[in-house]
Chain A
Amino acid sequence: DVKVTQSSRYLVKRTGEKVFLECVQDMDHENMFWYRQDPGLGLRLIYFSYDVKMKEKGDIPEGYSVSREKKERFSLILESASTNQTSMYLCASSLRIPGPQEKLFFGSGTQLSVL
Chain B
Amino acid sequence: AQKVTQAQTEISVVEKEDVTLDCVYETRDTTYYLFWYKQPPSGELVFLIRRNSFDEQNEISGRYSWNFQKSTSSFNFTITASQVVDSAVYFCALSTYNTDKLIFGTGTRLQVFP
Main SS at interface, chain A: loop
When the two chains form their complex, are residues A109 and B105 in contact, meaning their CB atoms are under 8 A apart? no
When the two chains form their complex, are residues B101 and A45 in contact, meaning their CB atoms are under 8 A apart? yes
When the two chains form their complex, are residues A104 and B45 in contact, meaning their CB atoms are under 8 A apart? yes
Give the docked Cα–Cα distance between A107 and B39 (Å): 11
Question: Quick one: which of A37-72 are within 8 Å of B by CB?
Answer: 40-45, 48, 58
Given contacts A107-B44, A109-B44, contact A98 B101 (CB under 8 A): yes
* A99 proximity list for chain B (CB < 8 A): 97
Give the docked Cα–Cα distance between A14 and B45 (Å): 28
When the two chains form their complex, are residues B101 and A58 in contact, meaning their CB atoms are under 8 A apart? yes
Using CB atoms, name the residue of chain A closest to B34: A100
A84 within 8 A of B: no
| Max count, chain B CB within 10 A of own CB: residue among A42, A48, A90, A101 | A42
Closest CB of chain B to A100's CB: distance in Å? 4
Closest CB of chain B to A32's CB: distance in Å? 13
Between A and B, 22 residue pairs with Cβ closer than 8 Å are A9-B43, A40-B9, A40-B106, A42-B91, A43-B91, A43-B104, A45-B101, A45-B102, A92-B45, A98-B101, A100-B95, A100-B99, A100-B100, A104-B47, A104-B102, A106-B37, A106-B45, A106-B46, A107-B44, A108-B42, A108-B43, A109-B43
